[in-house]
Amino acid sequence: MRWDIVTTAFEPTAVTLGFLAHHVDLGVNKIWLHLDAPNPELEDIAGDHPKIQIINCDAAYWAASSKGKRPWDFRVRQTINADAAMAQSDAEWIAHIDADEYVTNTDALFAFLHEQPEDILSVVVRNSERVHQHGQVQPHIFAGLFRVPFPPRIHRALPVLYGKHACYLQKGLAGYWHGKAITRVSSGLPLGLHRAKLPAGISVHKGQREFSEQVILHFDGLTKAHWLDKMRKKAPDGKVLKPHNPARIRQAQDVWDNRQNGPFLDDLYRHVKEISGFQALALRLLGRLIVSEVDVPAKIKKIFPDAYVDLSPTAVDAALKDIQDGRVPTAF
C-alpha cells in the first residue's frame, strides 16, 4: 500500500530528522515536508532523499498560494500545505501529522485500511502522549513513557492522580486526545488538522471509520523549553488561538501570564508533563501507560548514516534558542 505523510515543520534539525527517519524506515511512499522557515542544514542532509519532498514556504511560495500571502495563523498554513500535498500525491492514503507525531502499529493499520470499502474516505487513528517520570534522566529527546487517554472525558481517577493540576489535562492528556486522520487520496478532501472535511451530506458514520488500536506517538514537548515554546506559539501576544480544548487553553494562558515567573513554569511543567513514580504505577494499573519500542536514534543512523545529530535535551534546547533568537525566522 502506498501512503504519504504531509507536515509543516519549524523545528531544530535533530527533531525533524527523527521524524523523517522513522517514517522513511516504515516504508512511506513520500513525505511532503513543508519548511515554514529555511533550514539549509536539514536540506543538506535530507534534500536528495527520494522519499522526501522538501518545500520551502518562502515569500514566493505564499504569493502563489490560494491566500496570496503568508497566513498569520500557523494552523492555516498547515492546512493549506496539507491540501497542496493531497492534490499532488500519487499514493492511496495520506496522513496529515506534525513533526512531533510518529506513526506506529502499521501492520495492523494497513490491514485495516486495505479492508475499507471505497465509500470510507477517511480513517481516524488513536494517539498517545509522551510523558517523563520525574527524577529519571532523559538520555535523549525521544525517551520516555506514553499516556493514553482515559475513556470518559471526566474520569474519577484524574483528580486523585493529578490534584489541582487535573484542570490542565483532558482525558488525562495535556495535548489532544481524539486522534488524527488518514485520508483516501482519491477523495480529494480538504485535510484539516485532525480530520478531513467530509463532503456535504455524508455523515461521519458513513464516510469515516475509527481504528481501535493505538497508532500515533505524540512527543508533545520534547524538552521543557520546547513545550514552553509551543505554548507561547498558541498564545501570540497573550491571546490564545482558538479553537483549543479548555485544558490546552489554560496551559497556554498560564504560560503567557507567568512568562517571567520561573518557579511557576517549573511547577506547571512538573505536574503537566511529568509524572511521579506513584502516578506511573497507577496509570499502568489502569491501562493508561504504555512503553514504546521505537528507537529513533537508531533510525536516524540507519537512514542518514553520514549525519551527526546530537539528540541530547541540552543540544536541542540550544538549537531551539537559535530559532528564538532570530537566527531563523520566528513566525511559525
**Domain coordinates in residue numbering, the chain:** 3-152+176-221+276-324
- If you count DSSP H runs as helices and E runs as strands, how many of each does the chain have, helices first? 13, 11
pLDDT digits (tens, 9 = 90+) for 267-280: 999 999 999 999 99
- Calculate ∠ Cα 118-125-96, nearest 5°: 80
| Mean pLDDT for the stretch of residues 14-23 | 97
CB burial of residue 51 (10 Å; 0-12, 13-18, 19+): middle
Label residue 282 exposed, middle or buried (CB < 10 Å: 0-12, 13-18, 19+).
middle
Percent of the chain at pLDDT > 90 equals 85
Which stretches of 50-149 are assigned E, i.e. beta strand? 52-56, 93-96, 101-103, 122-133, 145-147
Residues 6+ apart with CB under 8 A from 89: 4, 30, 32, 185
Rounded Cα distance between 296 and 300, Å, is 6
Instruction: Please state whether beta strands 145-147 and 122-133 pair in parallel, antiparallel, or not at all (unpaired).
Output: antiparallel
Residue 253 makes CB contacts below 8 A (sequence gap 6+) with 235, 238, 240
Domain 3-152+176-221+276-324 sits in CATH at 3.90.550
Question: Distance (Å, rounded) from C-alpha 70 to C-alpha 36?
Answer: 10
Q: How high is the pLDDT of residue 328?
A: 52
> CA-CA distance, 256 to 239, in Å (whole number)?
9
| The predicted structure's pLDDT at residue 184 | 98
| Per-residue pLDDT at 327 exceeds 70 | no
Indicate the pairing of strand 208-218 with strand 122-133. parallel
Residue type, 267: D
Whole-number percent of the chain with pLDDT over 70: 97
User: Out of 99-108, 110-119, 177-186, 224-233, which region has the weakest mean confidence (pLDDT)?
Assistant: 224-233
Question: For residue 197, which amino acid is it?
Answer: K
Is 45 or 154 the better-scoring residue by pLDDT? 45
Which cell goes with 286? 489502569
Cα dihedral 87, 68, 47, 295 sign = negative
Average pLDDT for the chain: 93
Spatial separation of the C-alpha atoms in residues 180 and 216, rounded to whole Å: 8
Average pLDDT over residues 229-240: 87
Q: How confident is the model at residue 332 (pLDDT cuts 50, 70, 90)?
A: very low
Model confidence at 324: pLDDT above 90? no
pLDDT of residue 330: 43
Tell me the pairing of strands 52-56 and 30-35: parallel
Q: What is the C-alpha to C-alpha distance for residues 148 and 176, in angstroms, rounded to an integer?
A: 11
